[in-house]
């Protein structure tokens, strides 16, 4: 049986081909679909077994990052995407895709309000970061029990949520990644380990079911080991980088 993942793009998206390469290399057909094709009814989300909203600057991040694509998806396809998620199909939002998932209400989920806003540093942050893997029901991080390193590249990655909703998300195991110190402890808000000032060092969250996942770091930019800037100094013989497992988990979940 052939499985397909939709990688949606819009004007300004620039990580779609790299993301397609990652999921395609795992034996899942990856189709990059312009949002206009979906708006025109030429393609439907229900035609696919998974959805990825990749990084970039959809619609130039006018208004705020991910706002326009998020509102299009919510107003035009909100019910379809809610059903897509309810059917257990995986949805992954990377960087701008995370912002889109928050803007369209799929994350944090069930009416909870979250926001991804301007970095506390007030400038674009482009660096590799350490991440602490939290205990969660996220299907994308199964088997990840140690700290990992992924790159970030964003100007609006500061995750904010009310205290009450943060407590609810914590109790529901929705916190997936936290920015961390090199030794693995949460960054405690320290810069540049926490590159944007996110509350509780949050770098990635999932919905309560664990099949919708958004993160600011870029796993597609750490898919192969040689993509890490210090790969030649590592004794690890594994060909894969830390981002590989996220896509591998998605592919295995779809097959199951």
Residues annotated as catalytic (active site), given as ranges = 95, 218, 220
Q: In terms of residues, how long is the chain?
A: 256
C-alpha to C-alpha distance for 61 and 183, rounded to whole angstroms: 35
C-alpha to C-alpha distance for 68 and 66, rounded to whole angstroms: 6
The two three-digit tokens of residue 124, written as one number: 């674009």
Q: Which residues of 99-126 are buried (b: 16+ CB within 10 A; e: fewer)?
A: bbbbbbbbbbbeebebebbbbbeeeebe
C-alpha to C-alpha distance for 210 and 212, rounded to whole angstroms: 6
8 beta partners: 33
Q: Exposed, middle or buried, 135 (CB in 10 Å: 0-12/13-18/19+)?
A: exposed
Q: Exposed, middle or buried, 1 (CB in 10 Å: 0-12/13-18/19+)?
A: exposed
Residue 68 · residue 39 · CB < 8 Å: no
Work out the angle at residue 123's Cα, subtended by the Cα atoms of residues 121 and 126, and round it to the nearest 5 degrees: 100
**N- to C-terminal Cα distance for the chain?**
12
């Amino acid at each position: 049986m052939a499985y397909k993942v939709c990688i949606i793009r819009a004007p300004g998206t620039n990580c779609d081909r790299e993301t397609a390469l990652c999921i395609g290399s795992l034996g899942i057909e990856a189709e990059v679909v312009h949002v206009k094709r979906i708006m025109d009814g030429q393609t439907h989300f229900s035609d696919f077994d998974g959805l990825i909203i990749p990084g970039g600057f959809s619609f130039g991040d006018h208004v705020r990052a991910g706002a326009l694509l998020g509102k299009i998806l919510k107003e035009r396809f909100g019910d379809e995407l809610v059903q897509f998620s309810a059917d257990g199909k995986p949805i992954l939002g990377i960087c701008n895709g995370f912002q889109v998932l928050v803007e369209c209400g799929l994350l944090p989920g069930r009416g909870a309000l979250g926001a991804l806003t301007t970095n506390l540093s007030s400038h674009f942050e482009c660096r590799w970061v350490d991440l602490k893997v939290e205990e969660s029901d996220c299907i994308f991080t199964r088997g990840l029990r140690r700290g990992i390193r992924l790159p970030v590249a964003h100007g609006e990655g500061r995750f904010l949520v009310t205290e009450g909703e943060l407590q609810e998300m914590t109790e529901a195991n929705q916190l997936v990644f936290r920015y961390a110190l090199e030794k693995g402890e949460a960054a405690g808000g320290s810069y540049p380990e926490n590159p944007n000032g996110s509350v509780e060092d949050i770098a990635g969250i999932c919905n309560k079911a664990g099949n919708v996942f958004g993160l600011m770091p870029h796993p597609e930019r750490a898919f192969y080991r040689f993509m890490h800037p210090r790969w030649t100094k590592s004794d690890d013989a594994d060909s894969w980088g830390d981002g590989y497992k996220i896509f591998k988990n998605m592919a295995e979940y779809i097959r199951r």
